[in-house]
C-alpha cells in the first residue's frame, strides 16, 4: 500500500482539504470534522485500497484504516495543512450538530491523542504486576519505582493532558487549558487536603477533592473556559490579549473549577461509576452478558468513547469491572476472525482475517475485525454476541476487574484480577466464537450456494451455459434464473477497465459495464426502489425487485461539482419502474468543467450471482438490454 497515494485520495474524496475543520486519528480511524458532510464520496472512500469502512458518528466523519492509520495520517499531515488539533479553516456556517453527537465528538477528540500513551502505560503496569507476582522484581526496588512512575504518570496527571487536548477540541488555547488541569494537581492546591476536605476562597466555601486521574471535571472546566476565552477576546483590545486573556481566564476558571466545576464533574463521574457497580452487585452475570454481548455495536458507531471516562472514573477509585467484561467481546471477535482464517480459501480474505486476529490478540484493536469481517459477513455477528455474552457473564459473575487502563490483549492479562477467572472468561469467549464459525460458517446461505456452485460460462453469443448442477432433495436439477437490466443511458458501451478510476476499473466495487452518455438523462434500468441518491445528484443506487443492487455513477470525480449540473428527479425510498427518469444532467457543462462523463453501471452485490453477462453491442439506447444477471 502506498500511504502517500491513499492519503491524497482520502483528502480528495472527503471533499477536499478546504472541507476539513479538524483531523485527528485514533488506533484505527482518521476522524474528520467536516464543514459539509454531504461532500464526501463515501462509495469512493470505501473502495480505496487500505480503507476498511466509512462511519459517520459522534459528529465525526470517520475513515477506518486499521493498523496503518498512523502512516496514512502522517502522509496527510505532510501533504496538506491538516493535523492534530489544527483546522484547515473555521467556518461559521458549519452545520450544527446534535448535543449527543457533540458530547461524543469532544470525548473522542480529547481522548484519541492520549490513547497510545495510556495503552502503553497500562500494559507496563500489567507487566509490573506480573513481575512482582512471580518475584522477579521487588516492589521496593528502584527499578520497580522508576518503571511504576512511567506507568502511572499519564493517569495521575490526566487532568493536565486532558486540559490540552480538550481545549484543542473546543478551539481554545491548549496551553492555558493544560495550566487549568495542572492547577488541580499543583502542590499548593493538593496540600490543602492535608487539613481536611474543606477550605474557602474569598470567604466562599470550597469542597476539596483529589482530582488525579479524573476526567469529567476537566471536560466541564475546559468547556466553560472556551466560552470565557471567546468573550474576553471580544472585549479586550487585540494588543493586550496576549497576557490579559490568559490572566483573566486562569483567575476566573481555576477558582470556579475548585468551587463548582470540579466537584460537579467528580459527582457525575462517581454517579455513573456507582451505577455500573450497583448493577454488578445486583447481577454481575447479567451485566457481564449485556456488556460482553453488545459492546461491539458501540464500536461500530464509535460510541464506545462514552464508556472510557466511566472506566477511568472507576480506576481513579482503584479498580474497574467494565474492561474485564468488554474483553470478552474482543476475544470473541478474535475467535471469529481466527475461524474465518482457518475456513477461508480466498487469499485476500485469509490475509484480512489473519491480520485481524493478530490485531486483537496482540494489540486489543477490534476495528479491523468489525469492518473487515463482521460487517462484511453479517452471519458472524450472532457468533460474537453469543460468545461475548457468555464470556462477559463469566467475568461479570466472578467479579473480575481491571487494575489499570489497558487495551484487552494477551499482554495485558496481568492487569486483571482474579486472573484465573478472567482467563476462563476470555478463553470461553474466544473458543465459542471459533467453534461457531468453524461449525456454522461465515457466509450466508445464498453466498455459500453461489460460491459452491459451478460458474456459468458465457458463450460467444453471450448466453449462459451452466455447468453440471447438483440435484436437490427431489432429484430435480435446479435451473438457472436470470434478471435482465436495461440500459439507463444512451451512448457508447465501454468495458469497466476503460474507466479512469481504479475502484471501478479493477472491479473492486463489483462487476458491470460503462457507458459514455450522449444524452443527459439517466432512467431506471429495473423495477425497484431507490436505495440511495446522493444530494450531489451524480450517483444513485437502486434495489431491484429481484434483489440486485445497481449503482449508476455519472462521470468520474463528479462529486467535486457538488451537485452543479445535476438534477435528481427521485428521492430515497421512491418506487420506480423501468424507464422512469432518475437524474437529468447537463452533459456539455460537465465536459466543459473538465470531467470525464463515462458512467459505470455496477452490480454492487456481484457475489450473489453466478455471472454478470455484458451486452455485445457497442452502442445502446436507453432501455436496450445491457446486463444479464445469472442466479
Active site amino acids: 26, 553
What residue has cell string 461449525?
439
257 with 185: CB under 8 angstroms? no
Residue 174 three-state SS: helix
Q: Can you read off the three cell numbers belonging to residue 429?
A: 469467549
Q: Which residues contact 242 (CB under 8 A, 6 or more apart)?
A: none
- The residues facing 568 across adjacent strands are 583
Q: Can you read off the three cell numbers belonging to residue 389?
A: 455474552
- The residues facing 464 across adjacent strands are 458
* CA–CA distance, 289 with 521 (Å, rounded to integer): 54
* CA–CA distance, 628 with 486 (Å, rounded to integer): 9
The secondary structure of 420-437 as a DSSP string is: HHHHHHHHHHHHHHHHHH
Q: Tell which residue, 405, 443, 509, has the closest CA to residue 122.
A: 405
Expressed in angstroms, the distance from the first to the final Cα of the chain is: 35
Q: Can you read off the three cell numbers belonging to residue 454?
A: 459451478
* CA–CA distance, 190 with 159 (Å, rounded to integer): 13
Q: Which residues contact 177 (CB under 8 A, 6 or more apart)?
A: 163, 164, 166, 167, 168, 170, 222, 225
- The residues facing 485 across adjacent strands are 627
Residue 196 three-state SS: coil
Q: Compute the chain's Rg from CA coordinates.
A: 28
Q: Can you read off the three cell numbers belonging to residue 56?
A: 459517520
The three state secondary structure string of 203-262 is: CEEEECCCCCCCCHHHHHHHHHHHHHHHHHHHHCCHHHHHHHHHHHHHHHHHHHHHHHHH
90 with 142: CB under 8 angstroms? no
122 with 178: CB under 8 angstroms? no
Stated length of the chain: 631
Alpha helices in 35-80 (DSSP H): 42-47, 69-79
Q: Can you read off the three cell numbers belonging to residue 266?
A: 467528580
* CA–CA distance, 163 with 223 (Å, rounded to integer): 10
CA distances to 289, 408, 412, 426, 437 from 324, rounded to whole Å, are 11, 8, 11, 9, 23
Amino acid at each position: 500500500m502506498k500511504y502517500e497515494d491513499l492519503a491524497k485520495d482520502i483528502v480528495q474524496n472527503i471533499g477536499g482539504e478546504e472541507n476539513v475543520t479538524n483531523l485527528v486519528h485514533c488506533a484505527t480511524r482518521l476522524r474528520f470534522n467536516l464543514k459539509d458532510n454531504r461532500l464526501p464520496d463515501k462509495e469512493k472512500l470505501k473502495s480505496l485500497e487500505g480503507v476498511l469502512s466509512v462511519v459517520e458518528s459522534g459528529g465525526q466523519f470517520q475513515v477506518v484504516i486499521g493498523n496503518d492509520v498512523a502512516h496514512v495520517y502522517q502522509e496527510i499531515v505532510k501533504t496538506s495543512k491538516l493535523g492534530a488539533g489544527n483546522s484547515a479553516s473555521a467556518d461559521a456556517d458549519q452545520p450544527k450538530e446534535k448535543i449527543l453527537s457533540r458530547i461524543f465528538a469532544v470525548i473522542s477528540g480529547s481522548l484519541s491523542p492520549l490513547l497510545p500513551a495510556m495503552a502503553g502505560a497500562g500494559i507496563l503496569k500489567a507487566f509490573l504486576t506480573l513481575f512482582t507476582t512471580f518475584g522477579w522484581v521487588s516492589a521496593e526496588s528502584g527499578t520497580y519505582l522508576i518503571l511504576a512512575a512511567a506507568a502511572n504518570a499519564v493517569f495521575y496527571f490526566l487532568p493536565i493532558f486532558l486540559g490540552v487536548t480538550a481545549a484543542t477540541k473546543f478551539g481554545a488555547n491548549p496551553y492555558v487549558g493544560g495550566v487549568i488541569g495542572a492547577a488541580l494537581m499543583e502542590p499548593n492546591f493538593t496540600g490543602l487536603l492535608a487539613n481536611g476536605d474543606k477550605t474557602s476562597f474569598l470567604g466562599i466555601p470550597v469542597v476539596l477533592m483529589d482530582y488525579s486521574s479524573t476526567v469529567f471535571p476537566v471536560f466541564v472546566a475546559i468547556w466553560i473556559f472556551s466560552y470565557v476565552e471567546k468573550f474576553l477576546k471580544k472585549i479586550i483590545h487585540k494588543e493586550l490579549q496576549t497576557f490579559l486573556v490568559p490572566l483573566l481566564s486562569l483567575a476566573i476558571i481555576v477558582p470556579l473549577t475548585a468551587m463548582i466545576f470540579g466537584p460537579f464533574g467528580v459527582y457525575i463521574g462517581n454517579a455513573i461509576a456507582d451505577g455500573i457497580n450497583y448493577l454488578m452487585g445486583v447481577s454481575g452475570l447479567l451485566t457481564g452478558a449485556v456488556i460482553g454481548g453488545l459492546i461491539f455495536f458501540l464500536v461500530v458507531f464509535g460510541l464506545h468513547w462514552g464508556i472510557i471516562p466511566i472506566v477511568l472514573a472507576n480506576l481513579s477509585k482503584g479498580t474497574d469491572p467494565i474492561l474485564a467484561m468488554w474483553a470478552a467481546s474482543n476475544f470473541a471477535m478474535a475467535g471469529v476472525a481466527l475461524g474465518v482464517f482457518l475456513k477461508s480459501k480466498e487469499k485476500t480474505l485469509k490475509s484480512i482475517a489473519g491480520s485481524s486476529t493478530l490485531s486483537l490478540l496482540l494489540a486489543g484493536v477490534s476495528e479491523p475485525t468489525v469492518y473487515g469481517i463482521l460487517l462484511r459477513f453479517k452471519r458472524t455477528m450472532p457468533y460474537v454476541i453469543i460468545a461475548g455474552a457468555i464470556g462477559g457473564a463469566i467475568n461479570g459473575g466472578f467479579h473480575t476487574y481491571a487494575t489499570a487502563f489497558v487495551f484487552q490483549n494477551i499482554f495485558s492479562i496481568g492487569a486483571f484480577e482474579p486472573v484465573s477467572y478472567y482467563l476462563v472468561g476470555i478463553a470461553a469467549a474466544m473458543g465459542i466464537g471459533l467453534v461457531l464459525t468453524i461449525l456454522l460458517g461465515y457466509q450466508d446461505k445464498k453466498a455459500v450456494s453461489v460460491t459452491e456452485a459451478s460458474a456459468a460460462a458465457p458463450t460467444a453469443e453471450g448466453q449462459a451455459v451452466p455447468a453440471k448442477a447438483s440435484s436437490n432433495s427431489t432429484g430435480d436439477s435446479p435451473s438457472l434464473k436470470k434478471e435482465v437490466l436495461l440500459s439507463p443511458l444512451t451512448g457508447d458501451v465501454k468495458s469497466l477497465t476503460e474507466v479512469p478510476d481504479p475502484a471501478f476499473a479493477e472491479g473492486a466495487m463489483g462487476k458491470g459495464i460503462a457507458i459514455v452518455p450522449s444524452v443527459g438523462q439517466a432512467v431506471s434500468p429495473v423495477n425497484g426502489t431507490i436505495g440511495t441518491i446522493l444530494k450531489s445528484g451524480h450517483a444513485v443506487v437502486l434495489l431491484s425487485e429481484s434483489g440486485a443492487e445497481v449503482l449508476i455513477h455519472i462521470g468520474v470525480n463528479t462529486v467535486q461539482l457538488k451537485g452543479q449540473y445535476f438534477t435528481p428527479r427521485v428521492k430515497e425510498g421512491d418506487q420506480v419502474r423501468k424507464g422512469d427518469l432518475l437524474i437529468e444532467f447537463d452533459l456539455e457543462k460537465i465536459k466543459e468543467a473538465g470531467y470525464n462523463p463515462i458512467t459505470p453501471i455496477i452490480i454492487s452485490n456481484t457475489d450473489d450471482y453466478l455471472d454478470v453477462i455484458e451486452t455485445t453491442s457497442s452502442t445502446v439506447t436507453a432501455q436496450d438490454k445491457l446486463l444479464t444477471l445469472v442466479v
